[in-house]
Structure 1
Amino acid sequence: MADRYLHLTGTAPGRFLTRRLGLPQPVGLRRWSLATPSLDGPLLHLTAGGSLLGDTLAPVLAATGLEVVRRADRPAGIVVDATGITTAAGLGGLHAALHPVVRSLVTGGRIVVLGTHPSPEDHHQAAAQQALEGFVRSLGKEIGRGATAQLVRLAPGSAAPAESTLRFLLSPRSAYVSGQVVELTGAAPDPVADWVAPLTGRTALVTGAARGIGAAVASVLARDGAQVICLDVPQAGEELGRTADRLGATALPLDITAPDAAERIAAAVPGGLDVLVHNAGITRDRRLANMPAERWAQVIEVNLDSVLRTTDALLEAGTVNRGGRIVATASIAGIAGNNGQTNYAASKAGVIGLVRSLAPRAAAGHGVTVNAVAPGFIETKMTAAVPLLIREAGRRMNSLSQGGLPIDVAETTAWFAQPASTAVNGQVVRVCGQSLLGA
């Protein structure tokens, strides 16, 4: 459904009226396309309080394709290396670096602060580095004009593991991601032969792929070079076939809750899977006092239990290849809760628990990363059916004052899926325009 308010604020009379009334003024977001593959302008590289990255950061920033400069009147992106801040007093360097330039950031620009992991042995360093999180989350709510702010925590010594993450965050692909904290391990990235199609030679399976977010995920993975298998329930077979045909993909009609689902998936991919995306999900909304047991059980079974069961079976059987990527779909409902969705929120919070627990063990035992996207208000047929006032609240209650699109979830999933994203593990990234709900 079209966002008429967003269209209104894109006109001169609309801007005047909404400014006079003190209403939100969203800016149309610039997303990736062949015509707009990168940000339009230079990347300003600043340092606050010294650096733990040495000379390893410069080539990684250069790899983003942006012109990296130390001074710029209208930067499209700003990266601040704050890895060397270890004291409360040192935080003044962050203010000194950004205060003079933050107003000059272009519409739809990007700010990325680089920090390091808070130390359990040094509470002064831990306090200073944790302070960066509060700073970035607040900055994301201040800068407006479609701009975003993120914090990336790196292991000391080298910026190389951050290349795929900085390529994503400093590009139009991350248009609806803001106020996020991404913690990277020190794992070396797998090589990428072609950054235009980084998934070339890889096989990906997407559940719930017939329509909506799942179809968008399948489309972006195919665009990035993957051979995609689109899975959905047999009842959606006709729509599933159309989606698969459009992408040159394979359709796999299968109920993911079936006892033999994992075995049938394994049989469909004799060469194994490189990317497994758990996107299938349902809602059966009702307040707990009015919720029959079967509504509770259906949501838990589809959204959580089937994810646990098939993931375990596919890892144990070796169907997910070494260097593989597992991406699950959580939700901000699992972070903040939602009225009438105790079953749905429980299932999505369960997905977050799965990711945090399994990620280090999957990496150590199978060479596989496990991450999750947590969408907020995304413009789909489901949200189009939400009553008008609730729909408008969902759209406006975030730092970007608009709903996201399925492509936004898909682009984040594709970043997780890249071979170079080895250091991105155990992360839950909200795709919500920095929703005012939740952490």
Structure 2
Amino acid sequence: MSDRYQDLAHTPVGKFLVNNLGLPNPPRLERWTPGAPVVDGTVLVAAAEGSTLAPALDEALAALGVATTTAVADEERVKGIVVDATGIDTPAGLDQIQQALTPVLRSLSGCGRVVLLGTPPSEADTAGRAIAQRALEGISRSLGKELGKGSTAQTVYVAGGAERAIASTLAFLLSPKSAYVCGQVVRIGSAGIVEAPEVDLDAPLAGKVALVTGASRGLGLAMAQTLHRDGAAVIGLDVAPLADDLQRAMASIDGESIVLDITAPDAPQRIASYLAEHHGGVDVVVHNAGITRDKRLRNMKTENWHKVVEINVDAPARITAELLEAKLIRPGGSILGVSSIAGIAGNNGQTNYAASKAGVIGWVDELAPRVAADQITINAVAPGFIETDMVKTIPLTIREAGRRMNSMAQGGLPIDVAEAVAWFANPASAAVSGNVVRVCGQSLLGA
């Protein structure tokens, strides 16, 4: 759906009004295109005293083909800044973050990236280290709201032993693939998986099989297309009324179709049988299918409460349990859930939807350590305001508020959510599990 305000803000008259009236100024976000480098520019690398990630960081950036520097000359511009803060073990030591960033932030290009690397506070051996490492989140979240011009800031915690599994996360967060991800915290190795294989950067999912539910349109279609772009053979699933749309969508990416209601009692077994018979298993399972039935709780009908929870979280949990029980998700596989910022911050008139999407987060938290022994990951994306056909039905004032109340001052695109799913699904992200990452432009709602 076209964002007319954004178009207006980039005209001469619009720029004048935006600058003089203090109106939101949505930048043109850069998004990745096939064949483009991971980073179109240079990344400045800095480290706090006593930090330990330098060898792994240098190796990862070199493997990704990213040009790096340790100093910025006058008038020079950089596309990204990475600060290794793993050595900071006292609150006073946080001064090093300020001293590293303040002199160079004006050198950051538009749609630039800042990534702070730390160690999980849960692994801290002293109170000072726990304080300092947890403080990184406050720095990156605030910085994400300060940078403007489409630039982002994130914190990445690297668990002990997972140092050499950081490349895929750096590739995502430093590249235009993370255009609508800002102020997020990523944990690598937190579920106990600390190693990741090397993969083809251009086709990381070559030879893999991916199942995407709700794949006929919107977010699901974008996910299916993006996983196919990365080399996967895609199986799309949707309900009977959308069968024609689904078959056209899958035909466009040489995919396969399953027409099925995921809430049917035998749905888990039917899906498992199809995957076993046609592919001998599956590598990526994306539970995207979902619905809304909005009413305030005082007016909520039991059937609408039940249906939303059943489709959005209960059916994905049942299907996944069946696939795991049948050993159909192969080692190195990925399970992806779709949560929402509504599941984090709540939303007026969406108690059922928020319950289901918060439930997805609980499901990820519970399942991540259980599947780690089989080298399987589970993560979730939590979209904010994304420009899909659904937003056309939202009243204008609410739609505009949803678009502007984030650090990017605009809605995201389906590809933004799909890129996050593809990052999680990448075999090189094998140490990234148990995460819930918001794709919301750093919405003012939630954390």
* TM-score, normalization by structure 1: 0.97
SS at the partner of 1:51?
Answer: coil
For residues 241-288 of structure 1, the C-alpha deviation after alignment (integer angstroms, 9 at most, x for no partner) is: 110001110011111111111111122222101000000000000111
Corresponding position: 1:241 with 2:259: no
- Comparing 279-288 with 268-277, greater Cα deviation is found at 268-277
Please name the residue that 1:354 is paired with. 363
Contact in 2 for aligned 1:328/1:371 (Cα 8 Å): yes
Please name the residue that 1:265 is paired with. 271
Whole-angstrom distance in 2 between the partners of 1:116 and 1:138: 19
Q: Could you tell me which amino acid in structure 2 is paired with residue 435 of structure 1?
A: S
Whole-angstrom distance in 1 between the partners of 2:355 and 2:47: 42
SS at the partner of 1:247?
Answer: coil
Contact in 1 for aligned 2:308/2:353 (Cα 8 Å): yes
Cα displacement (A) at 1:70: 1.0
Cα displacement (A) at 1:188: 4.1
Contact in 1 for aligned 2:296/2:350 (Cα 8 Å): yes
Contact in 1 for aligned 2:199/2:427 (Cα 8 Å): no
Please name the residue that 1:363 is paired with. 372
Cα displacement (A) at 1:89: 1.0
Distance 1:420 1:189, change over 3 A: farther
- Comparing 406-415 with 316-325, greater Cα deviation is found at 316-325
Q: Could you tell me which amino acid in structure 2 is paired with residue 211 of structure 1?
A: R
Corresponding position: 1:183 with 2:183: no
The equivalences for 1:1-400 within 5 A come to 1-34=1-34, 36-72=36-72, 73-118=76-121, 119=123, 121-156=125-160, 159-185=163-189, 187-270=193-276, 271-364=280-373, 366-400=374-408
Cα displacement (A) at 1:61: 1.7
SS at the partner of 2:186?
Answer: strand
Q: What 5-or-longer segments of structure 2 have no aligned partner?
A: none
SS at the partner of 1:113?
Answer: strand
SS at the partner of 1:395?
Answer: helix
* CA root-mean-square deviation: 1.3
Contact in 1 for aligned 2:38/2:171 (Cα 8 Å): no
2:443 to 427, 432, 435: 435
Contact in 2 for aligned 1:53/1:158 (Cα 8 Å): no
Q: Could you tell me which amino acid in structure 2 is paired with residue 323 of structure 1?
A: G
Q: Could you tell me which amino acid in structure 2 is paired with residue 334 of structure 1?
A: G
Whole-angstrom distance in 2 between the partners of 1:121 and 1:172: 36
For residues 141-198 of structure 1, the C-alpha deviation after alignment (integer angstroms, 9 at most, x for no partner) is: 0000000000000124663111110011111111000000001116344424411010
SS at the partner of 1:52?
Answer: coil
Cα displacement (A) at 1:367: 2.0
Whole-angstrom distance in 1 between the partners of 2:311 and 2:188: 30
Distance 1:129 1:188, change over 3 A: closer
Whole-angstrom distance in 2 between the partners of 1:348 and 1:164: 26
For residues 388-413 of structure 1, the C-alpha deviation after alignment (integer angstroms, 9 at most, x for no partner) is: 11000000000111000000000000
2:421 to 413, 416, 422: 413
Contact in 2 for aligned 1:37/1:172 (Cα 8 Å): no
Distance 1:226 1:138, change over 3 A: same
- Comparing 61-70 with 242-251, greater Cα deviation is found at 61-70
Distance 1:137 1:338, change over 3 A: same
Whole-angstrom distance in 2 between the partners of 1:123 and 1:283: 44
SS at the partner of 2:111?
Answer: coil
Please name the residue that 1:403 is paired with. 411
Whole-angstrom distance in 1 between the partners of 2:117 and 2:54: 13
Cα displacement (A) at 1:66: 1.9
Cα displacement (A) at 1:50: 2.8
Whole-angstrom distance in 2 between the partners of 1:38 and 1:419: 17
For residues 56-99 of structure 1, the C-alpha deviation after alignment (integer angstroms, 9 at most, x for no partner) is: 22111222322111123200011011010000111001100000
Q: What 5-or-longer segments of structure 1 have no aligned partner?
A: none
Distance 1:259 1:79, change over 3 A: same
Contact in 2 for aligned 1:161/1:187 (Cα 8 Å): no
Q: Could you tell me which amino acid in structure 1 is paired with residue 88 of structure 2?
A: I
* TM-score, normalization by structure 2: 0.96
Structure 1 moving runs of 4+ over 4 Å: none
Whole-angstrom distance in 2 between the partners of 1:164 and 1:18: 37
Distance 1:193 1:421, change over 3 A: closer
- Comparing 420-429 with 27-36, greater Cα deviation is found at 27-36
Whole-angstrom distance in 2 between the partners of 1:37 and 1:390: 37
